[in-house]
Amino acid sequence: MKETDGPDRGSAIPSPEGHRFVPALGFAALTPLYDAVIAATMRESTFRRALLAQAAIANGHRVLDLGSGSGTFAILIGREVPGALVEGLDADPEMVEAARRKAALAGSGALFHLGDATRLPFADASFDRVVSSLFFHHLSPAGKRRAAAEIARVLRPGGELHVADWGAAPNLLMRSLFLAVQMLDGFENTRENVEGRLPELFAAAGLEGVASRLTLPTVFGALSLYRARRPFE
Ligand SMILES: C[S@@+](CC[C@H](N)C(=O)[O-])C[C@H]1O[C@@H](n2cnc3c(N)ncnc32)[C@H](O)[C@@H]1O
């Protein structure tokens, strides 16, 4: 059983390595249901395909999927761009194991690391792309800033960040639907998402060309796609 220091969510779970993280569906007990819930509710194929197209990953690229969860997106990238070296990182040992099992079943060469997005175990300027889906809203405001700084550090000059996560709600319906996510993953962690402030965080980390590309309505609110680039020195 996992050790907790309060409710089983909201940065309450330390992993064996001491990372603190909000589980994929807010509560650790729900993690085994994650793939089924996302497939049923998130227009999954549409948003993953849109993010993949936006990222324009090429053969030879080294790609990091931050908060890779059960590995669905990293495995998709590896299938669509077989010449890319794809690595996922997640703070939840259960998710890392699930991703490794799925990759083995799919015959994927994607690698999955246990780690904390706010302290990445990678060298400076070592990735061509950092991608991330449904992840940033799991971090505290300070955690978002540390993760953005880490992304800027590990991207090569000219390397790109591509993110799909909850964004500003375009109407009251989308805002109301998002309350369910806020109750699961925490109001503080999700606030800057729904205020549409992720682009500002990426720019503050030194990334340039920050843009919001697409907003997709889902049953849990509006999902936005963002891009940003590490400047050439
Ligand atoms: C909603 S899931 C998204 C998973 C996957 N990216 C996807 O698109 O299905 C969020 C993931 O972020 C991970 N996570 C939360 N905090 C983290 C942190 N500080 N560092 C790395 N991963 C973290 C959780 O363990 C969870 O697997």
Instruction: Tell me, in angstroms, the distance from the centre of ligand 1 to residue 171's CA.
Output: 27
Picking from 138, 136, 190, the residue whose alpha carbon sits closest to that of residue 163 is: 136
CA distances to 16, 28, 53, 138, 181 from 34, rounded to whole Å, are 21, 10, 24, 14, 13
128 lines ligand 1 (CB under 6 A): no
90 lines ligand 1 (CB under 6 A): yes
Question: How far apart (Å, rounded) are the C-alpha atoms in residues 21 and 179?
Answer: 20
Q: Is 65 helix (H, G, I), strand (E, B) or coil?
A: strand
Band (41; pLDDT cuts 50, 70, 90)? confident
Mean pLDDT, the chain, integer: 91
Average pLDDT (105-133) is 97
State whether CATH 3.40.50.150 applies to domain 13-229: yes
Alpha helices, H only, 56-194: 72-80, 93-106, 141-154, 172-185, 187-194
Band (1; pLDDT cuts 50, 70, 90)? very low
Let me know: does 96 contact 112? Beta carbons within 8 Å.
Answer: yes
55 lines ligand 1 (CB under 6 A): no
Residue nearest to atom 4 of ligand 1 (CA): 69
Instruction: Tell me, in angstroms, the distance from the centre of ligand 1 to residue 172's CA.
Output: 27
Instruction: Tell me what pLDDT residue 24 has.
Output: 86
11 lines ligand 1 (CB under 6 A): no
Kind of pairing between the strands at 62-66 and 85-90 = parallel
For the chain, the first-to-last Cα distance in angstroms comes to: 47
Picking from 220, 206, 215, the residue whose alpha carbon sits closest to that of residue 154 is: 206
Asked if pLDDT for residue 104 goes beyond 50, the answer is yes
185 lines ligand 1 (CB under 6 A): no
**pLDDT tens for residues 80-102?**
999 999 999 999 999 999 999 99
Largest CA distance in the chain: 47
24 lines ligand 1 (CB under 6 A): yes
Instruction: Tell me what pLDDT residue 150 has.
Output: 98
Instruction: Tell me, in angstroms, the distance from the centre of ligand 1 to residue 233's CA.
Output: 31
Q: Which residues pair with 193 in a beta bridge?
A: none
Percent of the chain whose pLDDT exceeds 90: 79
Band (16; pLDDT cuts 50, 70, 90)? low
118 lines ligand 1 (CB under 6 A): yes
**pLDDT tens for residues 44-75?**
999 999 999 999 999 999 999 999 999 999 99
Question: How far apart (Å, rounded) are the C-alpha atoms in residues 62 and 52?
Answer: 14
Q: Which of 37, 132, 138, 150 to mutate to test the pocket of ligand 1 (most atoms within 8 A of CB)?
A: 138
Spell out the domain ranges in the chain.
13-229
**pLDDT tens for residues 216-228?**
999 999 999 999 9
Instruction: Tell me what pLDDT residue 233 has.
Output: 76
pTM score above 0.75: yes
Other Cβ atoms closer than 10 A to 198: 24
